[in-house]
Amino acid sequence: MLLREVAAALFPARFDYAGYVPPVAPQQELAEILAPLGALNIWDTIHFKRLEAGEEHSLPRSTQSTAERPILKNLDDAEWMQFLVAHDVAYPRLPMAV
């Protein structure tokens, strides 16, 4: 995930993700765990949002209470701003269709 890559690049002494294991099991594993409980309806989704050129990224704002929490708790205010700028620059942007 780009969040971890940016954090490790900026602050390698604090963010070493070698051997990282996501806190949530993959869908297949969750399905196997839940299968004994009855019928399952499991799906995966991708959120895609185009932003106008120059528009602030909404992604970092939406992940601050979830995926960013383990990173933000280890940064002071100045480092957090540095992280947000670096993440915004690193995040891939697609050209707007005309």
Cα–Cα distance, 88 to 91 (Å, whole number): 5
Please state, rounded to an integer, the average pLDDT across all residues of the chain. 81
Q: Which two tokens stand for residue 78?
A: 């100045």
Domain boundaries, the chain: 2-90
* 46-66 per-position pLDDT tens digit: 776 665 555 555 555 667 767
Give the DSSP per-residue string, the chain: -HHHHHHHHH-TTT---TT---SS--HHHHHHHHGGGS--------------TTPPPSHHHHHTTTTTHHHHTT--HHHHHHHHHHHHHHS---PPP-
pLDDT exceeds cutoff 70 at 24: yes
Higher pLDDT, 10 or 94: 10
